Amino acid sequence: MHKGLRIAAWAAASTMMVGFIAGCGAGTGAAGNTANQTTGAAAGEPTLIMATSADYKPYEFHDTSSGQDKIVGFDIDVADAIAKKLHFQYKIQDMDFNGLIGSLQSHRADFVIAGMSPTEERKKSVDFSDMYYEARMTIVSKKGSPYTTLDSLKGKRVGAQLGSIQEAEAKKIPGATVDSLNTIPAIVQQVITGRDDAAIIEDTVATGYVKQNPQLQMTYIPNLAANGSAIAFPKGSPWVDKFNQAIREMKQDGELDKLEQKWFGSGQTQG
């Protein structure tokens, strides 16, 4: 998800950051301010700006259990592992999902990791790494409701995250009114309160919300292919091949499997 233009204005704008060690060459100056966590950064290592949308548990989300506001999750652990392999530090910029591609195009970020699927439309604007995880789409609705298939959502009000592939699928439903919102918690709340009939959400994310809200149910959408997560970069970024090598190593040595088990409780391998 890199070519980094770093300027003082960006440093002022950065709201969250995580620095991690790893060791590769070429880098640029970094921006950001508040450190979530630092692990012995070595002199001369590049610092990259990572953009994400930290409302997507368990991929990335805010954790305040330690008394500090940290962004944690599966994607953060993946970024940590890659940073260590490639010898760079990184700082997190948290923003709405719909703004992630733009942050790469304007070179305000070097890479994006946010459970993002490498669609053909997105590939026109950014470059992607190999996929590092694969998931399925689900319909989330009130328990006992008839909204368990795409056909059942015809003419209904359907929630989805703005700019996501779930939003694109929702817009294909005949007669449906698509309620496009910035964050997953807001989308789930729309279903709970009955303002939306259902929502289309990725399974690993939906599972947590259904567990927390027993009035909800989750149904897999069988006729939709699995969608994968990949890391996005500005067009022409020299980091794509390096990240791909790190992802391949993580698949081969079982590190990705361990992270999936940690965060998802399953052994499936993405991409």
pLDDT (tens digit per residue) in 188-206:
999 999 999 999 999 999 9
Say whether both 24 and 116 belong to one domain: yes
Say whether both 106 and 149 belong to one domain: no
- Give me the pLDDT at residue 43, please: 63
> Could you tell me the sign of the dihedral formed by the alpha carbons of 121, 3, 103, 117, in that order?
positive
- State the DSSP code for 190: H
Tell me the three state secondary structure of residue 232. strand
- The low-confidence residues of the chain, meaning pLDDT below 70, are 1-43, 223, 225-226, 266-271
- Give me the pLDDT at residue 34, please: 34
Say whether both 126 and 215 belong to one domain: no
Domain boundary residue, one of 203, 220, 237:
220
Q: Which residue has the tokens 């091949």?
A: 241
CATH of the domain at 211: 3.40.190.10
pLDDT (tens digit per residue) in 49-89:
999 999 999 999 999 999 999 999 999 999 999 999 999 99
Say whether both 151 and 212 belong to one domain: yes
Whether 3 maps to a domain, the answer reads no
Say whether both 107 and 120 belong to one domain: yes
pLDDT (tens digit per residue) in 18-34:
333 332 322 333 333 23
Say whether both 185 and 200 belong to one domain: yes
Say whether both 28 and 122 belong to one domain: yes
> Could you tell me the sign of the dihedral formed by the alpha carbons of 113, 116, 122, 123, in that order?
positive
Rounded to the nearest 5 percent, the helix, strand and coil shares of the chain are 30, 30, 40
Say whether both 120 and 13 belong to one domain: yes
Say whether both 48 and 126 belong to one domain: yes
CA distance readout (Å), 35 to 82, 99, 103: 19, 22, 20
* Total of domains in the chain: 2
Cβ partners under 8 Å of residue 119, min gap 6: 165, 168
Domain that holds residue 204: 137-220
Say whether both 79 and 185 belong to one domain: no
